[in-house]
Structure 1
Amino acid sequence: MWPLSTPRNPYRKTIEDKRARRTDALKHAPAFSAEEHQRYLNATASQIVDNISSGAWTASSVLEAYIARAAQVHGLTNCLTEVYFEEAKQDARRLDDEFAETGHLKGPLHGVPMSVKDQFDVKGSDSTIGYTQWANKPAERDAAVVEILRAAGAVVVAKTNVPQTMLAFECCNPLWGRTCNPWSTAHTAGGSSGGEGALLAADGAALGMGTDVGGSIRIPSGYCGIFALKPGQGRVGYAGSVDPNPGFEAVRAVAGPMGRSVADLERVTRVLLGERRARHDYFPAPVPYRDVTLPESCGSDGVVKGSPACHRAVLETVEALRKVGHECVEIEGPDSARALELFGAITSSDGYQKLTEHLGPDKKESALFLILLGPRLPNFVRNFASWVIRNFVGDAKYATLLAPMRKKSLLQYYNYVADKLAFERETRTSLWGDAPDRAFDAVVCPVQAIPALPHGGCDRLSPLACSTVMYNVMDSPVGVVPVTRVDPARDDLSDEWRAASGNGSKLIEGDIYGRKGAYDARAMEGLPVGVQIVGQPWEEEKVLAIMHVVDAALGPRGFGPGSWAPNKQSGAPCV
């Protein structure tokens, strides 16, 4: 990243102005007081609405608590971009006045403080997603989801930070800087909805909205210890979301909710599903939320051998489900290496020219190094490197991932998309076929092979996204449930774990588990560890229902509203 102070930075004035405006907007928040504010932070979105409805609370009193915390957590994690505290106060007062006059709530999110990823347009402010040259170009209207949320009574308090180009899952860009994990400032909050993950985990908003094309909702949710739902394509409106890669349709991005409880996700999902802002919108499909009745079975499941902490999270989830009477069977999961190969091959077809053209003179973040390396290499160099890695290093998986990362002809692109569609059909048949022993209601699997990456870890470990990318390629609805926290006594790399057979990439696993690897259970102590709950296409409601079952089976475990406090964070404030 260009240091802000260097004269070489061509956008120094723009960056200084944007950050100064953010600082001014943050001044509209009161100082946080646990005595005055904590009770509001301890409430779910549903409890907020119920208390306002009963007259016990007002939207303004709730808002004051959340913006006080949002300003506090931003000071530690640098999670906010555009700040709307003053506008939010006016919105909350209007809600209070309308309720006092009519006695009726505006909608099911009346008075709920919400944040949205910087990718969503909010009328009158920028949607830069970290690009300095996109600054000072305010949106003319709200994005579809923002309009829907406001119509349901939500109060939008801020937009949140994303990684540069949103390719990487380390949250950093030249305009707004780096966002840290609220539990450990030595670790990233994930990406690309990393600002959302950090803010929600620390109670700076009651609910939030992110987007996901390769894990961008699920990775920060897993890293930060919150709940989330990545819907399939066609269930939630996407209009009004800025796109750094317009025209790319082979693996479509989706918008989805992030929050602090499954109940809150269900509440906002009931508002979002099937809701259109214009009659001519092609998406979302006009299919509103459908209640479901669950049977009782699930399956539990790479290019990477999972860390002890992530493996333990899956085992604890399965054990909890079995204890309350649910049937769980171990299966061989989808081929995540093949999914990542196809995803990389398709997204790199233009050599990432479209995706990176917005950078202009901005210096590229180091997290993009490995992603952009393949397309930059001459074909003979890339092919030779792939051959050496396969035949001399003995890492066929890494070699397979590297080889197709190149610029392609239109015919080659078509062929890879056809391969992707075939993979999608074959994998769905394998998981959700009609045979009685394959009739799973959900698949439980890790979010990633590691609880969270230290800053800089994405430079060489972007292939870790294979465990989330797979379900974008398949277009499956996926939920995230936080399960446990890293415990060095149980999650250190034991001799027994090292001796267990692994079938992953030697190079990637070396970077994770080697002498100076990214996985360090002691440094990660207390970081959240979650699981993915994967369902069939068009079954978002069923995924949420299963998330309720999983959450109840696991029982109290220190996640949800009010679970974070500044004294629980390790490390210095994020810079």
Structure 2
Amino acid sequence: MTVTFLSAREQLAMLRARRISPVELAEEHIRQIERWNTTLGAFIEFDADRVREQARRGARGPLAGLCLSSKATVPIAGYRCEIGSVLLRGEVASEDAEAVARIRSAGATLLGTTNCPEFLMAYETDNLLYGRTRNPWSLEHSAGGSSGGEAAAIAAGMAAGGLGSDSGGSVRVPAHFCGISALKPTPGRIPGRGHTPPCIGPFSILGAVGPMARTISDVALLFETIAAQDPLDPISPPLATREISIEQAKQVRIGWMEDDGIAPVTDETREAVRSAAKALEALGFRVEPFRPAALEEARQLWWKFFMQCGAMFYAPAIAGREEELSPIFREFLQLAEEAPPLTAAQLLDAWAQCDIVRGKLLEEMREYPLFLLPTCSVPAFRHGERAWQVEAQTVRYLDAMRYTQWFNLLAAPAAVVPVSQSHEGLPIGVQIAGRPFEDELVLKIAECVDRAFGYRPPPLLRSTSDNT
């Protein structure tokens, strides 16, 4: 296996032992990007000379020499940050997002920025500026969204890891589709300052910048490196990262469910959740069936904030320029318009209900502070698909994604790790969620699941992952 498919921790060990230099590691990643990016459409801006210059300068820190990337909406200074929209064509970031600044100061080599759907409002990565991002497991299938470019780059060995963002599953669904790991942290644990668009209003609860990598251990490494209070971020808590031992984790009960009773999941998805539950039981964890009663209330509120408020946020920017919007963003607007615009009274009521429903979920999770469940009703779908027959029931596009949306409304941490594959050979990840601010506990359980199953290179790329 070539070095670019090794875990981030393994690559760092090689760098520290001087078995490879930062320049040599950068060159390996440059070759992988140049070989595969035209096919996959993961990176939207990549400059090999800028990468080489960083690597030659050298750096110190816990990530020194590690090659990382960032979703275009978590900006790197000097790189385009157009949110996938022709309305913002040519926009260039004047400074790093705070999370990017932290990985830079930790010594990482920044490779470039990755693709996203227009204005981030889709579970498929496609736009009129840079086109479609393809799944490394099957070019006919979506890499997910909105962090689909980031997931494809990492799965294909073009980056050791990187940063995405998540307001409704946007790091978790792409991780599930592409067979990698990701964490949507508690909002503010990793600062969102500098994200484009800003994580404000309801999106300060829904949204979070999240690390993505091939293993959850690498996700934890990125989290531990950059998670700290940002004094300029009003929702960033004054919390230090903490160590959770296996013994401590085993004291916490884990609830699990195969589906929510509304949107069915594929047989392979059910089996993946069962397999993860059995693996945890074999390690001595207490894993019991659990289905919170407040999930649908949480999902309805998420819809109001993400879909309806999201459309309201973008309305001034797109007014008079609707003909320039991508089909995928027009689709979002059409879905948002299925409900009439929110009145001021309805928005105020939704905001109050948000706290009430979050309280209900937290009360239910007192008995089961950790939650094991599907990431999505289906594995990666073919480009443009928007409904599926699952257990003789039609499951629509956004309903299939409901399994991630609850934890955005709850402002809670949730991780995804790859467990199995569908009959078509597409990855299936499972989700491990917890209560707000218990990110480290979620990561510890996810790491146990990941060790039992874990990342595999996509078949399309395996011929390039052998030693040459």
Counterparts of 2:15 and 2:462, CA distance in 1 = 30
Task: Choose which of 307, 314, 317 in structure 1 pairs with 2:266.
Answer: 307
* Residue 326 in structure 1 maps to residue 285 in structure 2: yes
* Structure 1 residue 235 displacement after superposition: 0.5
SS of the counterpart of 1:445?
strand
Going from structure 1 to structure 2, the CA distance change for 1:348 and 1:256 (only over 3 Å counts) comes to closer
User: CA 1:361–1:261 in 2, change beyond 3 Å: closer, same or farther?
Assistant: same
Which one of 87, 91, 95 corresponds to residue 50 of structure 2?
A: 87
Equivalent positions of 1:254-293 (< 5 A) are: 254-276=208-230, 279-293=231-245
Identify which of 409, 412, 434 aligns with 1:476.
Answer: 412
* Aligned: 1:186 with 2:140: yes
* Structure 1 residue corresponding to 2:5, chosen from 42, 57, 62: 42
2-structure distance, mates of 1:351, 1:46: 38
Determine the C-alpha separation between the residues in 2 that align with 1:415 and 1:450.
Answer: 33
The code of the aligned residue for 1:86 comes to D
| Equivalent of 1:527 in 403, 406, 426 | 426
* Larger gyration radius, structure 1 or structure 2: 1
Q: Give 1:526 deviation, angstroms.
A: 1.1
1:73 aligns with 2:29: no
Q: Partner residue of 2:397?
A: 461
2:124 equivalent in structure 1: 170
Distance 1:568 1:364 in 2: 37
Query: In 2, distance between residues paired with 1:351 and 1:478?
Result: 22
Which secondary structure state, in structure 1, belongs to the residue aligned with residue 401 of structure 2? helix
How many angstroms does 1:275 deviate by? 4.9
Is the contact between residue 415 and residue 446 of structure 2 (CA under 8 Å) also seen in structure 1?
A: yes
State the one-letter code of the partner of 1:425: G
Distance in 2, matches of 1:248 and 1:423, equals 15
Structure-2 change in CA distance of 1:307 and 1:453 (3 Å)? same
- SS of 1:322's partner is helix
Q: Aligned in 2, Cα 1:178/1:409: closer, same or farther, shift over 3 Å?
A: same
* Cα distance in structure 1, aligned partners of 2:214 and 2:461: 19
Normalising by structure 1, we get a TM-score of 0.73
Answer yes or no: is the 8 Å Cα contact 1:73–1:199 preserved in 2. no
SS, match of residue 229 in structure 1? strand
What is the DSSP-based 3-state SS (H/G/I as helix, E as strand, rest coil) of the residue aligned with 1:168?
coil
Using a 3 Å threshold, how does the CA distance of structure 1 residues 368 and 83 change in structure 2: closer, same or farther? same
| Counterpart-to-counterpart distance in 1, 2:164 and 2:272 | 24
Give the SS at the match of 2:206.
coil
Q: 1:533 aligns to what SS in structure 2?
A: strand
Could you state the TM-score of these two structures normalised by the residue count of structure 2? Answer: 0.90
1:124-180 Cα distance to aligned partner (Å, 9 max, x none): 222001111312232221111111001101111011111122111011111111111
5+ long unaligned stretches in structure 2: 388-395, 464-468
SS at match of 2:195: coil
Give the distance between the partners of 2:191 and 2:117, measured in 1 at CA.
23
Match of 1:123, SS? Answer: coil
C-alpha displacement of 1:372? 2.6
The code of the aligned residue for 1:291 comes to: E
**Per-residue deviation at 1:51?**
1.5
**AA at the equivalent of 2:433:** V
1:216 is paired with a residue whose SS is coil
Query: Does residue 566 of structure 1 match 2:465?
Result: no
Match for residue 60 of structure 1?
23
- How far apart are residue 84 of structure 1 and its match? 3.1
Partner of 2:333: 372
**Partners of 2:145 and 2:334 in 1: CA distance:** 20
- How far the C-alpha of 1:190 sits from its partner, in A, is 0.4
Letter in 2 for 1:48: Q
- For the residue of structure 2 that corresponds to 1:177, the secondary structure is coil
Can you give the 5+ residue segments of structure 1 that lack an aligned partner in the other structure? 1-37, 99-105, 377-401, 433-437, 488-524, 570-575
- Out of 353, 368, 380, the residue aligned to residue 419 of structure 1 is 353
Q: Which of 249, 254, 258 is the equivalent residue of 1:298?
A: 254
Q: How does 1:113-262 map to 2 (within 5 A)?
A: 113-243=67-197, 247-249=201-203, 251-262=205-216
Alpha-carbon distance change, 351 to 324 in structure 1, aligned in 2, over 3 angstroms = closer
Contact 2:204 2:235 in 1 (8 A): no
Q: Residue type of the partner of 1:263?
A: S
Distance in 2 (CA, whole Å) between partners of 1:351 and 1:179 is 23
How many Å separate the matches in 2 of 1:283 and 1:536?
A: 16
Summarize deviations over 1:205-254 as a string: whole Å, max 9, x none: 00110000111010000000101111011211111111078654474311
**Where does 1:319-358 land on structure 2 (aligned, <5 Å)?**
319-349=278-308, 352-358=311-317
Question: How far apart in 2 are the matches of 1:365 and 1:232?
Answer: 31
Give the equivalent residue in structure 2 for 1:112.
66
Contact 2:80–2:93 at 8 Å: present in 1 too? Answer: yes
CA contact (8 A) 2:249 2:445 kept: no
In the TM superposition, residue 338 of structure 1 has moved relative to its aligned partner by 2.6
**Letter aligned with residue 264 of structure 2:** K
What residue identity is the alignment partner of 1:418?
A
Task: Determine if contact 1:120/1:241 at 8 Å carries over to the other structure.
Answer: yes
Whole-angstrom CA distance in 2 between matches of 1:244 and 1:288? 24
Q: Separation in 2 of the partners of 1:463 and 1:368?
A: 18
Query: Is the contact made by 1:226 and 1:259 (CA closer than 8 Å) also made in structure 2?
Result: yes
- CA gap of 1:463–1:366, structure 2 versus 1, over 3 A, is farther
Q: Deviations over 1:514-568 (max 9, x none)?
A: xxxxxxxxxxx1110010001111111111111122223x24x6x25xx235356
Q: CA deviation at 1:193?
A: 0.3
Superposed displacement of residue 197, structure 1: 0.8
CA contact (8 A) 2:187 2:204 kept: no
Asked whether the equivalents of residues 148 and 275 of structure 1 are also in contact (C-alpha less than 8 Å), the reply is: no
Q: Name the structure 2 match of 1:409.
A: 343
Equivalent-residue separation in structure 2 for 1:273 and 1:245 (angstroms): 17
| CA separation of 1:280 and 1:441: change in aligned 2, threshold 3 A | closer
Mapped contact 1:348–1:407 kept (Cα < 8 A): no
Relative to structure 1, the CA distance from residue 295 to residue 241 in structure 2 (aligned partners, 3 Å threshold; closer, same or farther) is closer
Cα distance between partner residues in 2 of 1:350 and 1:314: 33
Q: Indicate the residue corresponding to 1:444 in structure 2.
A: 372
- Tell me: CA distance 1:567–1:248, structure 2 relative to 1, closer, same or farther (3 Å): closer
Q: Given that residues 370 and 462 in structure 1 are in contact (C-alpha distance below 8 angstroms), is that contact kept between their aligned partners in structure 2?
A: no
2:191 aligned counterpart, secondary structure: coil
Q: Answer whether contact 1:336 1:467 (CA < 8 A) is retained.
A: no
Structure 1 residues 42 and 80, CA gap change in structure 2 (3 angstroms): closer
Q: Check 1:448–1:320 CA distance in 2 against 1; reply closer, same or farther (3 A cut).
A: same
What amino acid is the match of 2:380?
Answer: A
Contact 1:191 1:219 in 2 (8 A): yes
